[in-house]
A and B are shown apart, each in its own frame.
Chain A
């Protein structure tokens, strides 16, 4: 009994620390008026939801921009990462470890200092403030997930199955398309989701490269928050949270232990 009281206090505290800030966000999203000294919102309502989701409103435009950028980033990353991942998993490569680490570089250096210089270089190519520029920045940042997870997914495919297909007379390309690719598909999908979320949530790169014309959802949320529009900021934040939380709940279904153990190996 004593153990349960102790546990209850620790878990209660932990739940308050972990879930408190999130509950706070939900309250702000549902509040129409909330001011000091009231501990809870004074008036609840959906006025701000209507304002955020009104047709052709800023938020809806940003949501569409964000999703398009994220989808294009996924397409670009996979186009680059699938051949690279296959080569890293199956073919003989000189300096294999060095190549693997090269993809980690964008995450291994403080990226902000690099983004300001990308933005400066992009001026010459008129890529500043364009979707293309933002997609390029997001792609390089997400490439480490794309390459490492696809490589792990291809490495987890049993080599015997590929050899059997080759023995039965299938060409290398056909073996890849009908055996390796379908078997690696869950891992590739997981890497696609990772890249999608990375891009959807990316702030710093877009802040420097995308402004003033490309306003993604995180930038819109930031602007609303700095301006003190906490309801708008909270609602936008909740929209951003939906895909993140959904992925957290299903991640293990896509990333099986056999693939996970080969990531970065």
Chain B
């Protein structure tokens, strides 16, 4: 048994080493650099500079990601609920086919789709004008922070909905039937029976989405590169234009803090 344990460690070691060298070491390096002055030595100057220049973007990042996460949660509960409780098999099958199109679409491609779809003269406004719902003078473009939220929700909802719908499908149907027989409406069944039971899955999906959105560079760059924008754009700007690793890493540290709050909930769930 001792031998098998050693073999196991030996087999896992190369993969672990890769994560250690190519992720954990640079991560530690970024944490140290965030608190380091140009000549070495401890400083909080990087953070002062980061907040002085980018406090608006830090706020926007938080708002964009929190709002997106909430909208994704609502949309995926609605989708999962309809897929589980929907009474018309045709409508359920149609929805199952429809909802997951954006699932494997890369963020760059999603951003390119939205860049032309949401523009003032994009296909969305053209269609609304064509259908007579809007007048040409009333159209507005969404290529700002709202566009970033729309793109995130469009891209990430199928992922969370897939997890949630899967979890709902594997629940015991008898409680649903019992509630239905007692006269509970579908909305009540959804929020009082289904959602509490799939909460762990929902939270995990949302946290993974949160972290993903936190590090996407292409969507904010392509939808709205002008200020106010997201911190990822500012980090890339500091590096590419000034080689300013101090400020960039200070911003990175702020983004770690935002996700660490989330990851903490995740870890608490995993290690029991």
CB of A49 within 8 Å of the partner chain: no
Residue of B nearest to A248 (CB): B104
Q: How far does the Cβ of B82 sit from chain A's closest Cβ, in whole Å?
A: 10
Q: From residue 174 to 222 of chain B, which have CB atoms closer than 8 A to chain A?
A: 208, 211-212, 214-218, 221-222
Contacting residues, chain A, for B111 (C-beta < 8 A): 225
CB of A145 within 8 Å of the partner chain: no
Q: B123 contacts which of A27, A87, A109, A245 (Cβ < 8 Å)?
A: A27
Size of the A side of the interface (Cβ < 8 Å), in residues, is 83
Contacting residues, chain A, for B115 (C-beta < 8 A): 225
**Contact in complex: A109, B211 (CB < 8 Å):** yes
**Contact in complex: A222, B16 (CB < 8 Å):** no
**Contact in complex: B235, A116 (CB < 8 Å):** yes
Q: B245 contacts which of A14, A114, A120, A207 (Cβ < 8 Å)?
A: A120
Contacting residues, chain A, for B19 (C-beta < 8 A): 102-103, 105-106, 140, 143
Q: A25-B112, A84-B15 are in contact. Are A20 and B117 (CB under 8 A)?
A: yes
**Contact in complex: B18, A87 (CB < 8 Å):** no
**Contact in complex: B113, A25 (CB < 8 Å):** yes
Number of A-B contacts (CB under 8 A): 247
Contacting residues, chain A, for B8 (C-beta < 8 A): 87, 91-93
Contacting residues, chain B, for A84 (C-beta < 8 A): 11-12, 14-16
CB of A171 within 8 Å of the partner chain: no
**Contact in complex: A225, B112 (CB < 8 Å):** yes
Contacting residues, chain B, for A240 (C-beta < 8 A): 106, 108-109
CB of B74 within 8 Å of the partner chain: no
CB of B42 within 8 Å of the partner chain: no
**Contact in complex: B217, A203 (CB < 8 Å):** yes
Among the stretches A50-58, A181-189, A226-234, the one at the interface with B is A226-234
Q: A105 contacts which of B23, B30, B98, B166 (Cβ < 8 Å)?
A: B23
**Contact in complex: B16, A99 (CB < 8 Å):** yes
**Contact in complex: A28, B18 (CB < 8 Å):** no
Residue of B nearest to A11 (CB): B94
Residue of A nearest to B251 (CB): A113
CB of B44 within 8 Å of the partner chain: no
**Contact in complex: A143, B18 (CB < 8 Å):** yes
**Contact in complex: B267, A112 (CB < 8 Å):** no
**Contact in complex: A247, B104 (CB < 8 Å):** yes
Q: How far does the Cβ of A141 sit from chain B's closest Cβ, in whole Å?
A: 8
CB of B99 within 8 Å of the partner chain: yes
Q: How far does the Cβ of B240 sit from chain A's closest Cβ, in whole Å?
A: 9
**Contact in complex: A109, B27 (CB < 8 Å):** yes
**Contact in complex: A20, B123 (CB < 8 Å):** yes
Q: B101 contacts which of A22, A120, A137, A197 (Cβ < 8 Å)?
A: A22
Residue of B nearest to A27 (CB): B123
CA distance A113 to B254 in the complex (A): 10
Q: A18 contacts which of B101, B116, B130, B263 (Cβ < 8 Å)?
A: B101
CA distance A247 to B222 in the complex (A): 26
**Contact in complex: A14, B113 (CB < 8 Å):** no
CB of A147 within 8 Å of the partner chain: yes
CB of A165 within 8 Å of the partner chain: no
**Contact in complex: A140, B252 (CB < 8 Å):** no
Q: Chain B interface (Cβ within 8 Å of chain A)? A: 1, 4-5, 7-9, 11-12, 14-16, 18-19, 22-27, 29-30, 33, 88, 91, 94-95, 98-117, 121-124, 126-127, 129-130, 136, 154, 166, 208, 211-212, 214-218, 221-222, 232, 235-236, 239, 245, 248-249, 251-253, 255-256, 259, 263, 266-267, 270-271
User: 17 A–B contact pairs at CB < 8 A?
Assistant: A39-B126, A83-B12, A84-B15, A87-B11, A91-B4, A105-B19, A111-B215, A112-B252, A113-B235, A116-B30, A116-B248, A117-B26, A139-B18, A147-B15, A221-B112, A234-B112, A244-B105
Which 8 A-B pairs have CB atoms at the shortest separation, nearest pair first?
A: A113-B252, A201-B106, A91-B8, A21-B113, A83-B11, A244-B104, A87-B11, A110-B215
For the A-B complex with A84-B15, A112-B252, A222-B222 known, give 11 more contacts whose Cβ atoms are closer than 8 Å: A25-B113, A40-B126, A84-B12, A94-B5, A103-B19, A108-B211, A109-B256, A113-B253, A116-B248, A117-B33, A218-B106
